[in-house]
Amino acid sequence: MALATGCSGSGGSGAGPYGAGPAVVGATGGADDGSPDAYGDGRDGATTAPTCTATSKLIPSCGAWWGMAPEVFTGEPVERALRGAEERMGARADVLHVYHRGGELFPTPQEIRLARDPAGPRLLMVNWKPSLDHTWAQIARGAIDRRIDRLAAHLRSTFPERFFLTIHHEPENDVREAAGSGMQAADYAAMFRHVVLRLRDQGVRNAVTVMTYMGAPNWAAMPWFEDVYPGDDVVDWVAMDPYADGRVRDFDGLVNKTRREFAQWPGFYRWMQWRFPGKPVMVAEWGVFERSHDRSFKRAFFESVRRQIRRYPQIKALLYFDSPDAPRGDTSFDSDPAADRAFSELARDPYFRATRVPRP
């Protein structure tokens, strides 16, 4: 989770709206007969031919993936947390966002069960901090290669499905500018590259890699910001983690935060359009905090997402951070009955129901 952002860069990436058109994978769906599934969102019971597909990089051709990190910081087991959240919002999540660090092996048996749910598969977005006691420079030099190799063996033997993988998300506020710190922006880029290339060398070909920025303007002024980017060859998607703090009023303001003190910053989505025109964008975390002086704010904000999401066609995944105990407040989507209804309507919107998660 984070509440801050990035700055300008140069160049572009790829051709066409989201690259050069990688191959279609899996059985996907599109128009259906409207038959209700367990959540009434019309995903099951499809009888017509598929019209919307997912590419080999998990880019949906129609709309965007809908997902979440459910009941974070509650201690609830992930299966119970996700199924409870889906029941409360009346819709399935396309993407489950989970967090791992250090030597933890992923996906876990619980995460695999959710990904392979007979009622309908889900994609995993795995958020991994490879080490809490090594610098980025040390990791780039091979300090945890045995750990990476052990993870690669686990992935090869247990989970052949494609999944999203982000490595040490939101690096900006961990950068240490001092020479020799091992935590400079360029050290992050080298670490990210090393981990991805090592996994690939060890036979992991199903990880769709995501570079996750913080998504708020104060990092735009940093002279090193562009240096954190690891390179197009090891990054498939780019992501941001913006939160609706007291200065954000709607979805437009969330994905394009600007500040008077950073007058040159155009907003994160605008920057991504310019810097990465060929890559899909993920809003990997987003959350709306309670406002004690305005109990209607969450409802109004969720309604704004539904009105405005189609203005941002490069956003191909939207993953909510659902937590009653987030560091800066309560982001539970159902903390208020009106907010719960608005969120459920958002989750069931056809824009997020258009492309089916590909089956293995």
Q: Which tokens in the block code for residue 19?
A: 């690259």
> Helices in 202-322 by DSSP H: which ranges?
251-255, 268-275, 297-308
Q: What 3 state SS string does the chain have?
A: CCCCCCCCCCCCCCCCECECCCCEECCCCCCCCCCCCCCCCCCCCCCCCCCCCEECCCCECCCCEEEEECCCCCCCCHHHHHHHHHHHHCCCCCEEEEEEECCCCCCCHHHHHHHCCCCCCCEEEEEEECCCCCCHHHHHCCCCHHHHHHHHHHHHHHCCCCEEEEECCCHHHHCCCCCCCCCCHHHHHHHHHHHHHHHHHCCCCCEEEEEEECCCHHHCCCCCHHHHCCCHHHCCEEEECCEECCCCCCHHHHHCCCCHHHCCCCCHHHHHHHHCCCCCEEEEEEEECCCCCCCCHHHHHHHHHHHHHHHCCCEEEEEEECCCCECCECCCCCCCHHHHHHHHHHHCCHHHCCCCCCCC
pTM higher than 0.95 for the full model? no
User: What integer best gives the mean pLDDT of the chain?
Assistant: 88
233-288, pLDDT tens digit by residue?
A: 999 999 999 999 889 999 999 999 998 899 889 999 999 999 999 999 999 999 99
pLDDT at 191 over 70: yes
Query: Parallel, antiparallel, or unpaired: how do β-strands 54-55 and 24-25 relate?
Result: antiparallel
Strand partners, 186: none
34-57, pLDDT tens digit by residue?
A: 333 445 454 543 433 468 999 999
For 147, the enclosing helix (H) or strand (E) is: helix 145-158
67-118, pLDDT tens digit by residue?
A: 999 999 999 999 999 999 999 999 999 999 999 999 999 999 999 999 999 9
- Tell me the CB-side half-sphere exposure of residue 233, using CA atoms within 13 A: 6
114-133, pLDDT tens digit by residue?
A: 999 999 999 999 999 999 99
Q: What is the pLDDT of residue 297?
A: 96
Alpha carbons 39 and 42: distance in angstroms, whole number: 8
Region 55-64: mean pLDDT is: 98
Region 203-220: mean pLDDT is: 92
**Burial status of residue 341 (CB atoms within 10 A of its CB: 0-12, 13-18, 19 or more):** middle
At position 309, the amino acid (one-letter code) is: I
